[in-house]
A = this chain, B = another copy of it.
């Protein structure tokens, strides 16, 4: 326990190696980090969290790279979490994302890590929330979470950010429009990247049209959701994106503490629930009787001696009382 405690202490002092180690253990699903995380939690709650989401290939990492640089110019320290759940089997985040941001690796004020947690039960959401606590307690002013924006987990992750940025590119076709409709409600800010391509203005109009058609879908009451064009690789429009993020931050702060408190409350709720759900499932399976009991249950269902519906009720009664 002494060494665990000292890991949290080192993170609070800003130790990069200890932070990297703790986040890796979070990503590995190592339960022994809980006491460290609990200790760090009291030192968290100060960082500003920004979510970036969008399909693969829209240039999120390049844009994030530019935004990191801008925050650094303003003297802010930045933590970045690149989330990659698109590859459920290959293990590990897409290498390119990290390569694109590598110029920041030599900067002490920037800390970049990928999370690739596997498994169910909101594993990804939970490890992201834990990693945010770590970077927050480490003292980073701004935490950027980058996701590819496809599953419910990622929607939850981006929704827990203070400012949420949805990135797209011109002309992604009809089906992508349908997906975009699902992302409408999580964006405080939309960025059409690679806007030197044909159809950029059209894509901007389409997003604006969808926003107008679904006013109730806006993420923040009273905030005028912006749709911006940029070409991140050429540094065009990046400043406007940066300013829009700062404007949204100011908007939230001017809304008073209620608004920020609500965001915080939602994040805490999600984090608690994920922890509760995971622990519950694990302990309950033990109470059912472990692998052998489980095998018998499954065999009976396969043989049609029982069905999954009665079998699950019977097991629940055994665990929690009838």
Contact = CB atoms under 8 A, between A and B. Distances in A.
Contact of A42 (B277, B281, B304): B304
Interface string A117-138: 0001110000001000000000
Given A86-B182, A302-B261, A272 B284 contact: no
Contact of A275 (B57, B271, B272, B309): B309
A174 B268 CA distance: 37
A7 to B, nearest CB: 15
A4 interface: no
15 contacts: A55-B175, A87-B182, A88-B182, A89-B181, A89-B182, A89-B185, A94-B175, A150-B151, A268-B308, A271-B308, A275-B308, A275-B309, A276-B316, A280-B281, A280-B316
Interface of A: 34-35, 37-38, 41-42, 45, 55-57, 85-90, 94, 96, 120-122, 129, 150-153, 155, 173-176, 178-179, 181-182, 184-185, 217, 261, 264-265, 268-269, 271-272, 275-277, 279-281, 283-284, 287, 297-298, 301-302, 304, 307-313, 315-316, 319-320
